[in-house]
Structures are given as structure tokens and as C-alpha cells.
Amino acid sequence: MMTRLFIRMFAAPLLCASCLAAEAATNSLAPGQARTETFRHGDVEVTLAVEPATISLDRDVQLTIRASSPDGIDVELPSLEKRLAGLEIIRSYDREPERSGGRVVRERCALLAPVMADEYRIAPLVVRYSGSAAGQAETNWFPTRPVRLESAPLLSEKTAGAIGDIVPPVWIPPSWKTAALWCLLVLGVLLAAWLCVLAVRRIRNAMRLRGLSPRERAIRELAELLSKRLVERNRVKDFYVELTMIVRRYIERAHGIRAPEQTTEEFLEAVARDSRFTAEVVRRLRAFLESADLVKYAAFRPAEPVVAGAIRTSREYIDSDAAHAGENMA
């Protein structure tokens, strides 16, 4: 009894392994052909067929597991789950068993998709079988050997030889549309920058002018008007328009009378009603403004002494009015 138990526990597995090593047949074929691996254990024969024999990423792989056994022995085809390296199962199905000459042939077919991997391999599969012809009542099993598959190179020798060094960047001149678009963009940026500079200058000038007295602002405006040399450029009308506006703006800042928006008559009437203006001042303002209206509206062209007198009159009025108001004349 003990002898039989020893044989079943130790001698039987060793005998099984030796039978598998002796009876396994391997056929490695050229790329595109099928590769078969056959394993025998007693009366049970299992064949793995892989087509094509060489793995290529651009082609699916057909794997067929075929088990042949005597009639009366029930063979359980092995599962492929977690037994494939570098291959993914697309679909799998079993064919109807075929009986011929006292044997039964069972087949399991699987369509596999190769993926990028370091190796392509079918791990050992466990084949279980049982039945009266097995010589024992319990279920028996045996493993297949791992099957490593060759893979085709990603590039053929011809293609690999045709690959050269990396070509350095090549200057491609832009089209005229692209060049025009860039020119417009640059001009737009320059125009925006120029407008920003003008706006900043105006803001700074306005801030500086806020700190000046009415007389100081009027004197500065007179200096800017003379620097334009409008009289020398035969723009006498424009000169008189700006000169009268300087005097009107001074009166508005110094006395609060909205002189720039009024006509000459409206302005003189407002000044005459204001007790701060003497009759002599009103008379001088009337003479100054009415002579300026002749130039602006009647196309009168004054001589140079008359123009100089108008400048002197406006300056004297501003200085005398500021002095009367107690403004510092320094």
C-alpha cells in the first residue's frame, strides 16, 4: 500500500514530465506559415497551431488549440485568460467535436491582436481530462510547455537602409498674404503706441496746467500761439480765433463767466452786468473783440501793427486783471 502511494506521489509526475519532454514536437516555420507545438500525455494529444508563425503588428494571429483523445475520455480545453504575453484576445469560440476512428477531436479557435511588447509568448496551459479510458476515476491533468513566438522587425532592411540623418530646418519664405498681415500688425502696434504716448503727454500737460493760475495758463497759451507763426503763414483768421479764445478762457477761469460758449454781444452784456468789470475794461474788451470779429467774419485783413496791437491789448488786459485780483505777477 505504501509502495503504491509513493509511486503515485513521486514517480508518476516524474514519468509525466519525461513523457512530455520526449514526445513534444516543435515545428518553427518561415514567416507567414503556421507554427505547431504538439504535447502528448497518455492517449491524449494536444496541438497548438499559431498562424502566422512570426508576429507582425499589422496582422492578426490565429491560434488553434486541438485536443485528440479516445472516445470515452472527456478533455477540457484550456483557457487563454492571462496566459498570453503581447497578444490580446479579439474573439474566441469552440467548434463542435468530431468523432472518427474511435477518437474525438475538440478545437478552440482564438483571433489575437499583437501589441507593442518585448516578447510574444503563450504561457503553459493546463489540460484536464477524465473518463473510463484514462485508467482512473479522478480527473487528471498535464501542462503544456511555454511557446515563444518570433516577431518581425518594424522596418524592413530596405526601409531601414533608406532612413538617413535628420534634415535641418529649411527656411520657407512667407506668402504675400502672411507678410501683409504681419506688416498690418506691426503698423497697428506702432499706431497704438503712438496714441498712448500722445494720451500720456496730454494727461501730463493737463496735470501741470491744473497747478497754474488763470494768468499763468493764459500767458503760456499766448506763447504757444506765437510759436505757431500763423500770421507769417497767412493764417490771420486762425490767429484771431485762438487769440480771442485765450482771453475768453482766462475770463472764465478767473471770474466764472462762461465766455467761450457765448457770442460777442452775449459776452459783453454779461461783463457789463458784472460789477467786477469797470466801464473802461468793458470798453477795451468791446473794441478788442469787435475788431477780431471783423477779421474772423468779414474777411478783414489787418496790418502787422494792428496784429501786434491786438497781442499787446490781450496781454495788458490779462496782466492788469490779474493784478487787480491780487494774483502774484512774478
Q: Which residue has the higher pLDDT, 112 or 272?
A: 112
Instruction: Estimate to the nearest angstrom the gap between the alpha carbon of 176 and the chain centroid.
Output: 26
Can you give the pLDDT at residue 268?
Answer: 85
Can you give the pLDDT at residue 194?
Answer: 93
CB 250 within 8 A of CB 209: no
Helix axes 279-297, 304-324, angle to 10 degrees: 140
The span from the CA of 44 to the CA of 134, in Å, is 9
pLDDT averaged over the chain? 81
Element of type H or E holding 269: helix 264-273
Q: Which residue has the cell 506559415?
A: 33
CB 107 within 8 A of CB 66: yes
Can you give the pLDDT at residue 276?
Answer: 85
Q: Fill in the DSSP letter of residue 132.
A: G
Task: List the grid coordinates of 102.
Answer: 474511435
Can you give the pLDDT at residue 174?
Answer: 81
Q: How many CA atoms lie within 13 A of 250 on its CB side?
A: 25
Can you give the pLDDT at residue 133?
Answer: 54
272 SS3 class: helix
- Taking only the tens place, the pLDDT of each residue in 214-255 is 888 888 989 999 998 888 888 888 988 999 899 888 888 888
CB 256 within 8 A of CB 271: no
The span from the CA of 139 to the CA of 257, in Å, is 120
Average pLDDT over residues 145-164: 75
Can you give the pLDDT at residue 147?
Answer: 93
CATH of 22-151, one of 2.30.30, 2.60.40, 3.40.50, 3.30.160: 2.60.40
Which of 62-71, 149-158, 269-278 is predicted least confidently? 149-158
Instruction: Kindly report the backbone phi and psi dihedral angles of residue 311, in degrees, each rounded to the nearest multiple of 5, phi listed first.
Output: -65, -45
Domain boundary assignment for the chain: 22-151, 176-210, 212-324
Q: Return the ∠ at Cα 226 (arms to 297 and 229), rounded to 5°.
A: 75
The span from the CA of 197 to the CA of 324, in Å, is 40
How many CB atoms sit inside 10 A of residue 267's CB? Answer: 23
Q: Which residue has the cell 515545428?
A: 27
Can you give the pLDDT at residue 5?
Answer: 38
Element of type H or E holding 253: helix 236-255
Element of type H or E holding 108: strand 103-114
- Would you call 157 exposed, middle or buried from its count of C-beta atoms within 10 A (0-12, 13-18, 19+)? exposed
Q: Residue 60 pLDDT > 80, yes or no?
A: yes
CB 90 within 8 A of CB 111: yes
Q: pTM here?
A: 0.42
221 contacts: CB under 8 Å, gap ≥ 6: 246, 249
Task: List the grid coordinates of 251.
Answer: 475770463
The span from the CA of 65 to the CA of 47, in Å, is 6
Element of type H or E holding 225: helix 214-227
Tell me the residue type at 115. Answer: V
79 SS3 class: coil
| Pick from 282, 285, 310, 284: nearest CA to 295 | 310
